[in-house]
Chain A
Amino acid sequence: MTDVSISTTPSAPDRAKRVSLISSDARTEKRKSAERRFRMYGIAGIATGIFFLIVLLVSIVSSGTGAFQQTFINASVYLDPSKLDKNGNRAIEDLRKVSTFGYTPLIQQAVFDKLEQNGIETPLQKRGDMKALISASAAAQVRDVVLANPDLIGETVDFRILASSRVDGYLKGRVQREDVARDKNIDAEHLDLVDALVPLGIIEKTFNIDFITGADASESRAEAAGIGVAMIGSFFMMLVVLVLSLPIGVAASIYLEEFAPKNRWTDLIEVNIANLAAVPSIVFGILGLAVFIQFMHLPQSAPLVGGLVLTLMTLPTIIISTRASLKAVPPSIRDAALGVGASKMQSVFHHVLPLAAPGILTGTIIGLAQALGETAPLLLIGMVGFIASNAPDGIASGLLDPNSAMPAQIYEWAKRADPAFYERAWGGIIILLGFLISMNTLAVILRRRFERRW
């Protein structure tokens, strides 16, 4: 035992140093600073991520809040019977025949009158010069009021009419004086006029409910575009997704988690679901186009088709989360039910499923939130590129009539040339994120409230 060879041949560095613990040598200092550096990298990583988040949120909020405000012109329009009702009988059929072109001069006159009443000096001396201030939607706005209430003809009525998007942009700082030289829609004189009218309260910027409730408008009328109809389209799509994906997802999960024998078919399904969850969303769009529209001839642009595509896309997410919550229910519960003579099916439906319900619900809400923000597949089934102008008037038309969806509407605006639409796109994002945040908060609350630890 004493002649152990290794202990008799201590190597050079062995036992040579007996350094104090308190003094640290240069090497230790170097290692310590390497440690600090590495830690800094980590902090820098997180800081970068959070920095990006903040930049993203700041640009959304700063660019988007403008969409919730709109510039209006307060004018008293004289509804001239000689223009609007030549026959003088107030018959609705005759009134309908007067197109918006009949109303435009009246509105321009009304604005022009305001200038004279307030004694504003301007080189713009013609009624027609007011055109640049007024939205192209204003005539339709007045016309709708008149058609709804023909007795107003002949009276002078106070209207809050939409100002043109350039005036709106000027008040919001989007349109600069330097830029107007190249702009054929508005010039410096008009901006002078706006500057003069704002203090008088004739032109004012107020909250714009129409952006939230209204329909999209054509390329030239950014000021009138709203996201309301697209919101309804999204709602119907989510309805389809919920109605289909929840039962199918839960049924599939129950089978895979509780009943499936371990065989090739089940393995195939499992692998399938894992991979479907990672298939690019655009591929689901191709599927929707080829199967639902080309093959089954379902209507293009219909929320029903959008909902079907999103259902197929969300199913894997819902199945994965549902299986996790089924798995979290301890086997003892199943055994207890089986022990009192319940069938396997009864034990699952009477005991396991109710216990897993909060988790399933949470997963479903998160899946829906994901589907709500999805855009790419909707482009392929045609939910973009047209103007969703009317709110549907029932469930069937809501499902089958062409409509847009919130993210598709945002994309549509982002594509348009007029920067006035960008503000609307950001505003749409605020609303979309508002929905997503509410849904996720709901999911978190549900999870907190019903979470059960076994």
Chain B
Amino acid sequence: MTSFTKKQLLGFYEKMFLIRKFEEKAGQLYGSGAIGGFCHLYIGQEAVVVGILSSINSEDTVVTSYRDHGHIIARGVDPKLVMSELTGRSGGISKGKGGSMHMFSKKNRFFGGHGIVGAQVPIGIGLAFAHNYRNEKKISRIYMGDGAMNNGQVFEAFNLASLWSLPALFIIENNQYGMGTSTKRSAAGNDLYERAKVFGIEGVKIDGMNFFDVSKAAIVARDYIIKENKPYVIEMDTYRFRGHSMSDPALYRSKEEVLQKKEIDPVLTMKETLIKDHQISESEIKTLETEIKKIIKNAEDFALSSPLPDLEELYTEVYL
């Protein structure tokens, strides 16, 4: 089924569990007032980013929307730097000046963290353009939600990406709701990925709750993009267990629906599969989870003790 080693698989599970625990902690810190503003949690969608990560070349570029904590952590940025950005402290990845939705790391090839629905998609094809311009065999991974798929600039980006043969992988994280509006109430036609077809962009829809399905599709997609010199789209059928943001009670969906989706919780599913099919013991996983909990505790401590930004920071970095 897969050629991953046991160590790699544990590594992927570790990332998923890390993101889950990070987001739970972020939710708690929001509740205590340590995190302010908007805070969009990734809980439930972990298999998407980690599955895609399993195919990633370290030089590939990544760009995503505002639901970005899991993405930047998956890309290898220290959770401490992410958590302290959420608490708006000087130790944050953006020195506390960006916040939950605006985090970047050039070193880790992560280009944000964008707060306006759909805006990251043209930016992402710009990163793909730069790969081509420099004759690099790299691809740009562009994440967007189902909500963005009704935003005009996304189609402009599809057209340009196909027209200019850009190495772009469009990843639609269809978590079924753009804020409180279900895809059924917002998107005409059939599956979202099919909309790319009119631009000559091939694609597929897969189970985004299953790491192995995502990983398989991501590897196929990357090979296709590099070999065919064309963009590609994957629609992830996924689900967020929390509201759109912390202040969303999610009354637009039933408790039964959420419970049903929790039956296929990507983190738990991954754990069960590792134990059942990959000769990984429960105690190995327990050890790893204990380590992650420590990392989260450290991140929390750092995020709460890191000083607020210097007042001088107000006027720095407006211009270079």
Are the chains A and B members of one assembly? no
